[in-house]
Chains A and B, each alone.
Chain A
Amino acid sequence: MSAEIKEREPLFSAKNMRLIKNPINLNNPITVQVLGICSALAVTAKLMPAIVLSISVIVVMAVSNVVISLLRDGIPPRIRIIVQLVVIASLVILVDQVLKAFVYDVSKQLSVFVGLIITNCIIMGRLEAFAMSNKPWPAFLDGIGNALGYGIILIIIAFLRELLGSGTVLDIQVIPQWFYDFGYQNNGLMILPPMALITVGVIIWVQRYYSRELIEKN
């Protein structure tokens, strides 16, 4: 019988690492699971707000996954949505107050989108699908992984839009002046909302071109 006693899994076993790695490409929350698009697009006109929002989502997601996973045996299934919303909403209030205290300008730019982390479907989705049925440590890794996958896409979009739209990265001019002297123009269209959608479309195109198994059957 002693052979059946499972050895304690090491903290960073291959299975646990997969929880972090998978969401970054093959199971990316934005481009594959289609969760959390709402806030992803609206804040990506500049790189700075995108980075701040990604960090906020990482924090909220990791902590809420752990909390729900700890509570999972005590939550009656009928009211689980309300319990999840309350946990997320309290964490978001904390994040919002911290942002207001330390980076007020960015918090103004993000406007309602910090609040909208509450209804960000990635968080609810991962709580439902993973944290409700797993131990705290894997749930923590799953939260970090999915939030990273989300953050990476956010930062790629924001980088492209800021570079092409205003010629800057993190508000530092990177396109040299002589470029403009030759008649180079910033593409003003990139800053406008619709181009965020088209950029995501192109990112999905590139990703699926290289990861063929993701292509949808028609």
Chain B
Amino acid sequence: MQEIFNIFIKSIFIDNMVFAYFLGMCSYLAVSKTVKTSVGLGLAVIFVLGITVPVDYLLNEFVLKAGALVWIDASFADVDLSFLSFILFIAIIASMVQLVEMIVEKFSPALYSSLGIFLPLIAVNCAILGGSLFMQERDYQSLGQATSFGLGSGVGWLLAIVGIAAIREKIRYSNVPPALRGLGITFIITGLMGIAFMSFLGIKL
């Protein structure tokens, strides 16, 4: 139980998707103009990561890993399908996003209209595929650990995008050098936020 909680905290602060691995930067830069929309996108990312990482974990554990197919027949013990993981993970993500979109539309039209265009965009957000690939690389031991990693990464991403959106709303009133306006200054602010987040590196969990 404690291990699961540690992974959760670690993936929010220490291994933050945006500041430590630059994942999901494209939508992070494109959608962070106002706090309201960035909260919506952040919630959608948490939602999708929380679903796809555990599903991909099961897929990895029971289909892809070397010797994972033993549960069908002992003769499959030396089959290693891990080279297929990219294409299967992205297929799972694309279909999950589609599924989530349909479920949300059916049961909570209010949430659907507020997430709106962001849901389909998420299929090509690198943070989602990155989450699954890191899960595979780090070799988490149980479904609980994989889920808490997925949720934690999502929360970390939400934190980052809401932070930058709040700063960008304020910086509109500042006098930025013309050549740095917009994109340039956003990169530099993100870098500074990253340096701030590095202070969490020393924490051993």
Contacts of A116 in B (CB 8 A): 23, 126, 129-130, 133
Q: Which listed residue (A40, A194, A208) contacts B192, Cβ 8 A?
A: A194
Determine the chain A residues whose CB is within 8 A of the CB of B181 once the complex forms: 215-216, 218
The minimal Cβ–Cβ distance linking B141 to chain A, given in whole angstroms, is 19
B187:A201 contact, CB within 8 angstroms = yes
Flag if B83 contacts A196 (CB, 8 Å): no
- Known contacts: A37-B22, A37-B26, A41-B22. The answer to whether A118 contacts B185 by CB under 8 A is no
CB neighbors of B among A83-115 (8 A): 85-86, 89-90, 92-93, 96-97, 111-112, 115
Q: How far apart are the CA atoms of A197 and B86 in the complex, in Å?
A: 27
**Is B6 an interface residue when CB atoms closer than 8 A count as contact?**
no
8 A Cβ contacts from A174-218 to B: 192-198, 200-202, 204-206, 208-209, 215-216, 218
Residues of B within 8 A of A89 (CB): 86-87, 90
Report A-chain residues with C-beta under 8 Å of the C-beta of B102. Answer: none
Is A118 a contact partner of B187 (Cβ separation < 8 A)? no
Q: How far is the CA of A89 from the CA of B124 in the complex (A)?
A: 12
In chain B, what residue has the closest Cβ to A195?
B191
Residues on A with beta carbons closer than 8 Å to the beta carbon of B24 = 38
Interface size class, chain B: 35 or more
Pair A119/B194 contact, Cβ less than 8 Å: no
Query: Given known contacts A37-B29, A93-B87, is B187 in contact with A200 (CB within 8 Å)?
Result: yes
With A and B bound together, what is the CA distance between A121 and B195 in angstroms?
A: 26
Q: How far is the CA of A115 from the CA of B131 in the complex (A)?
A: 11
Q: Is the CB of A81 within 8 A of B126?
A: no
> Would you give the shortest CB distance from A202 to chain B, in whole angstroms?
8
Instruction: Assess whether A201 is in contact with B22, with CB atoms less than 8 Å apart.
Output: no
Chain A residue at smallest Cβ distance from B127: A38
Say yes or no for B180: interface residue by CB 8 A criterion. Answer: yes
Contact A194 B195 (CB under 8 A): yes
B198 at the interface (CB under 8 A from A): yes
Measured CB to CB, the nearest residue on chain B to A40 is B22
Name the contact of A201 in the complex, choosing from B87, B134, B184, B195 (C-beta under 8 A).
B184
Q: Residue A26 at the B interface, CB < 8 A?
A: no
Name the contact of B191 in the complex, choosing from A38, A111, A119, A198 (C-beta under 8 A): A198
Inter-chain contact B90/A118, CB cutoff 8 Å: yes
A85–B132 alpha-carbon span in the complex (Å): 16
Candidates B129, B187, B190; contact of A119 at CB < 8 Å: B129
State how many residues of chain A have any CB contact under 8 Å with chain B.
47
- How far is B21's CA from A196's CA once the two chains are assembled, in angstroms? 11
Distance of B59 from chain A, by nearest CB (Å): 15
Contact: A205 with B22, CB < 8 Å?
A: no
Q: Does A39 contact B (CB under 8 A)?
A: yes
CB-CB under 8 A from A82, the residues of chain B are 91, 94
Known A197-B187, A198-B191; judge A205-B180 contact (CB<8 A): yes
Are A119 and B124 in contact (CB-based, < 8 A)?
A: yes
Least CB separation from B89: chain A residue:
A115
A161 to nearest B CB, angstroms? 12
- Interface residues of chain A, those whose CB is within 8 Å of chain B, are 31, 34-42, 81-82, 85-86, 89-90, 92-93, 96-97, 111-112, 115-116, 118-121, 124, 192-198, 200-202, 204-206, 208-209, 215-216, 218
3 shortest interchain CB distances as A-B pairs? A194-B194, A197-B191, A201-B187
B residues whose Cβ falls under 8 Å from a Cβ of A:
19-26, 29-30, 83-87, 89-91, 94, 123-126, 128-130, 133-134, 137, 172, 176-188, 190-195, 198
A and B contact pairs by CB, cutoff 8 A, 28 listed: A31-B183, A34-B29, A37-B29, A38-B25, A39-B22, A85-B123, A86-B87, A93-B87, A118-B90, A119-B128, A119-B129, A121-B26, A193-B20, A193-B22, A194-B198, A198-B188, A198-B192, A200-B187, A201-B186, A201-B188, A201-B191, A204-B187, A208-B179, A208-B180, A208-B184, A209-B179, A218-B181, A218-B182
